[in-house]
Structure 1
Amino acid sequence: MKKTLLTSLLGLIGLTAFAQIKNTSFDEKKENAKWPESWAIKEIPGSTVQIDDNIKFSGSSSLKISTNEGVEPSKFASFSQTIPLNLDKTSRATISVYLKTENLMGSAAIWCQVWDDKNKSVGFVNLGSQNEPVKGTNDWKKYSMTLILDRTAKRLVLGGYSMGAGSTWFDDIAFESAQANSKPASKEVKNYIAVVNAIIKDNSIYTDSLNWGAINADIEELGKGLETTADAQMLTNFMLQKLRAAGDNHSFFQPKVAAQQYASGNTSQQKPTFKLLDNHIGYIMVPSYGSTDTETGKAFANEIQGFIKKLDTENTIKGWIVDLRPNTGGNMHPMIAGLGPIIGRGTLGYFVKGKSKTPWYYTKEGEGAGKGITVKIDQPYELKNPNSKVAVLIGPRTSSSGEMTTVSFIGKKNAKLFGEQSGGYTTANTGYPLPDGSFLYLASSYVADRNMKKYIGKITPDVVVKPVAGEDTVLKTAETWVLDSNP
């Protein structure tokens, strides 16, 4: 049966809510008959999003996303819809979807973003972060994710995506009410959320902005009926919403499986690249790097240093371009260690919390922070001309550790930033293990450059370059500056 009305959230705490998801089964078509009515569609080159009248779970159709082989694994096609809310109580709810996949190399999921009465994004849940990744070939199956809607929530942006080569079908998206339950949370759940909140209280740079009395009262009510740490994920998501409302856009929870993968190998798909540009300019692109494994990080850094050495020893390099535009973050230390020959030795930046400041730096051994070397380089390379100009390219995707790497260049002689403002995730996250094997990555300090200038929010480049369709104006502008005899 096609569902077009969001179930009223009555029962948990007497909540009155009204919202409407339109065309939940994708049966209603737009005039061109390719896309469903009421949903915004985003295709990418090599992908197709369309209504499928032949394969469906129920009703007359489903939404199919197909992506060809050869498309960058991190790229995805998606769909979304904005849903207004009118709430009088904080409560919990479940969003579900039926998914079918065929030879999906990446993953598929639905997601939901929560916006408050100040037009600020305060919550985000992703099916992939609450369940095993949906990939490969699977018949129709119902998947669900939980979320908490604060009384200040005014709208949701609900959507889905398919990442990587293969096909995914979506059908019967539903917003289901939480059931009433007066049973207190189990001891396991209480202990779990107590650990989470103790970490936040002791280490978050936003802890003084949180109303802990109101938070504890909400958690006691919202936790009723929860029995396992898996159930408690909705409470950790609630805490993230509170941190978001306080100004923290960087902290996040990493599920157990993701934490295990992050600790054992690089979870980022894109690899660093290098090339010699015209006029003997050395180009290095450093993407995100996702791992805390020592040997994997060392190999990543050594590979980048190998690229730099090859370019520098086989050519007369007039200057360098470091491209951080695709760098969405992860672990900053292998990135900086790899770029060490270009960045140069010495203190590169600081982690700042209150009156405390901890430097990060590059030495003849590798990259370090505080009192120890974090990434040791096997055979550190030194540039033939350490005073060469360096152009660093950044943009909206340059985030988190990508921004820390950017900060490492700020204040260096003969270095300039080119492009657009960065993503704005310039707080430093520290990982804290949780009882179930997951991790809380918490914004625990701000960052400052080598001259102690603090960065809160987006980094603005020295030379702002607006993108032009069909050409890389940022790269061209940087090349011109590198070749200019003036600083």
Structure 2
Amino acid sequence: MLYSVKPLMRLLLLPLLLMASSLFAQSKKPDATPSKEVEQYLAEFQKIVKKKALYADSIDWAQLRKEVKEKSRGLRTIEEGRHVLDHILHTLRNAGDKHSFLIPKEEVATLTSPSYAGQQAESRYLGDGVGYLKVPEFTSMDASVGQTFSQGIQSQMEALQTKHTLTGWVVDLRQNTGGNMNPMIEGLKPLLGEGIYAYDISPRRAFMKEKPRYNWSGKEQQPRSGAAAPTPQQVAILIDSLTASSGEMVAIALMGRDNARVFGQPSAGYTTANQDFKLSDGAYLLLAAGYRMDRTRKPYLNRITPDVVVEYSPKDTPDKTIEAAQRWLRETK
């Protein structure tokens, strides 16, 4: 049987044409212009980072803008643009920033809730006139929860001082990964004394390069004139590789005072001073905008190295770090 050539060729060409059409449709790029909402949100985010970030000068902004434009093609909602924000933060990471991060609006509600299931501070008497305080991370942003946390620390300190004559303290910040620094600082107020406990240095803000911080409620205010400082007590500060961010800030606040010494392992190295920015969708950007100096104006640009490095103790064995701190407190009474 003979077949006509033309119908046969049409049968062969039809699948090829359909395939080519499909490939062309898939290769078409989405609308190059994102929605106005997305465009404004990304512009807001980039403006904050460029103006405030500690490492902003290490970024190729022309290249980053090109990448943001490409990655935002066709986006219609802010939620769809999360990967673009991640890319900007990743670019900051590559420039040297290891501390900036975003809190999505969904998580903000949890952090500001008046209910808090996190750990509270612990205390006990170690003997030889030494009190022990374990200060854990604190992640709530709710004022009432923060007040309860700080009052808990002070109540435990008062209880120990009522029962025992204390000449020194062990403040254990090991595994304190950070969070909200202010309630920790407020709780430790009796050990910090009055006055400036640290400085935030913001190199990109020429009009305010040095910002002092004070020890009550984390607010900047002048110390009360003529107020007597508490009796100085020795303080042994314990840190490890999980002491990070606000945990490191608390250590720095204590380290600058007299009669203080640090024991343990080098900290995590998140010592940049983060500034929070509320974004238009309710999310928060916590941006590394500066670094911290202690009250003696010693800067901390990376990890905190202990005065006395102590190896980790295996589980269910005596805590060598606490033992080293106790020896120092006994020897320097």
TM-score tier, shorter chain, comes to: 0.7 to 0.9
Is residue 443 of structure 1 aligned with residue 319 of structure 2? no
CA distance in 1, matches of 2:106, 2:293: 33
Work out the CA distance in 2 between the residues paired with 1:457 and 1:181: 44
For residues 86-125 of structure 1, the aligned pairs below 5 Å read none
Q: Which runs of 5+ in 1 are unaligned?
A: 1-177, 374-381
The one-character-per-residue Cα deviations of 1:356-380 (angstroms, maximum 9, x if unpaired) are 1111122xxx33343489xxxxxxx
Query: Retained in 2: the 8 A contact 1:266–1:289?
Result: no
Shift of 1:265: 3.9
| Residue equivalent to 1:367 | 217
Q: Which has the higher contact order (CA 8 A, sep 6+)?
A: 2
1:326 lines up with 2:175 in the alignment: yes
Instruction: Measure the CA separation in 1 of the matches of 2:28 and 2:129.
Output: 69
* Aligned residue number for residue 227 of structure 1: 76
Residue aligning to 1:77: none
In 2, Cα distance between equivalents of 1:247 and 1:371 = 32
Q: Deviations over 1:30-84 (max 9, x none)?
A: xxxxxxxxxxxxxxxxxxxxxxxxxxxxxxxxxxxxxxxxxxxxxxxxxxxxxxx
Q: Of residues 452, 470, 476 in structure 1, which corresponds to 2:297?
A: 452
Residue 179 of structure 1 deviates from its aligned partner by 8.6
**Alignment check: 8 A CA contact 2:105 2:283 kept:** yes
SS, match of residue 276 in structure 2: strand
Q: Deviations over 1:359-402 (max 9, x none)?
A: 1122xxx33343489xxxxxxxx86xx22211000011111011
**Does the aligned pair in 1 maintain the 2:200–2:292 contact within 8 Å?**
yes
CA separation of 1:267 and 1:198: change in aligned 2, threshold 3 A: farther
1:181 aligned residue: 29
Distance 1:209 1:403 in 2: 25
Q: Secondary structure at the match of 2:179?
A: coil
Distance of 1:193 and 1:485 partners within structure 2: 56
Q: Distance in 2 between matches of 1:466 and 1:435?
A: 47
Q: Distance in 1 between matches of 2:313 and 2:178?
A: 25
Match of 1:358 in 2: 211
User: Which of these residues, 140, 150, 157, is aligned with residue 291 of structure 1?
Assistant: 140
Residues 394, 189 of structure 1: alpha-carbon distance in 2 compared, 3 angstrom cutoff? same
The correspondence for 2:198, drawn from 335, 349, 352, is: 349
Secondary structure in structure 2 of the residue aligned to 1:368:
coil
State the secondary structure of the residue aligned to 2:80.
coil
> How far did 1:266 drift?
6.7
Q: How does 1:165-314 map to 2 (within 5 A)?
A: 181-184=29-32, 185-265=34-114, 269-314=118-163
Q: Is the 8 A contact 1:446 1:456 kept in 2?
A: yes
Q: 1:267 and 1:219, CA in 2 relative to 1: closer, same or farther beyond 3 A?
A: farther
1-structure distance, mates of 2:308, 2:115 = 32
Shift of 1:267: 5.5
Q: Which deviations, in whole Å up to 9, do the C-alpha atoms of 1:249-285 show, x marking residues without a partner?
A: 0000001121122123475622211111132310001
Q: TM-score, normalised by structure 1?
A: 0.58
Q: Is the 8 A contact 1:360 1:367 kept in 2?
A: no
Q: 1: distance between equivalents of 2:280 and 2:28?
A: 28
Report the CA distance shift for 1:232/1:289 in structure 2 as closer, same or farther (over 3 A): same
Query: Residue 237 of structure 1: SS of its match in structure 2?
Result: helix
Give aligned pairs, total.
298
Q: Deviations over 1:230-255 (max 9, x none)?
A: 11100000011000001000000001
Q: CA RMSD in A?
A: 2.2
Cα deviation digits, residues 186-229 of structure 1 (max 9, x gap):
21111111110111111111111111100111111111121111
Quick check: 1:482 aligned with 2:329?
yes
Partner Cα distance (1:209, 1:235) in 2 = 19
Counterpart-to-counterpart distance in 2, 1:471 and 1:238: 45
Relative to its length, the structure with more strand (as a share) is 1
Assess if the C-alpha contact under 8 Å between 2:191 and 2:254 holds in 1.
no
Partner of 1:421: 266
CA distance in 2, matches of 1:251, 1:325: 22
Looking at structure 2, the residues matched to 372 and 237 of structure 1 have their Cα atoms a distance apart, in angstroms, of 39
Instruction: Note the residue ranges of structure 2 that are not aligned, 5 or more in a row.
Output: 1-25, 224-228
**Kept after mapping to 2: 8 A contact 1:250/1:427:** yes
Aligned to 2:218, the other structure's residue is in SS state strand
SS in 2 for 1:358: strand
Match of 2:233 in 1: 388
Alignment of 1:142-153 (within 5 A): none
TM-score, length basis structure 2: 0.84
Shift of 1:468: 2.9
1:352 and 1:229 map into 2 onto residues whose CA distance is 33
Q: Compared with structure 1, are the counterparts of its residues 179 and 468 closer, same or farther at alpha carbon in structure 2 (3 Å cutoff)?
A: farther
CA drift at 1:291: 2.2
**Which residue of the partner structure matches residue 247 of structure 2?**
402
Shift of 1:316: 1.1
For 1:237 and 1:292, locate their aligned partners in 2 and report how far apart those are by CA, in whole Å: 23
Displacement after TM superposition at 1:314 (Å): 1.4
1:463 partnered with 2:308: yes
CA distance in 1, matches of 2:236, 2:97: 30
Taking the aligned partners of 2:280 and 2:38, their CA distance within structure 1 comes to: 11
| 3-state DSSP of counterpart to 2:287 | strand
Question: 1:137 aligns to what?
Answer: none
Tell me, in whole angstroms, the C-alpha distance in 1 between the residues paired with 2:237 and 2:199. 19
Identical pairs, percent:
37
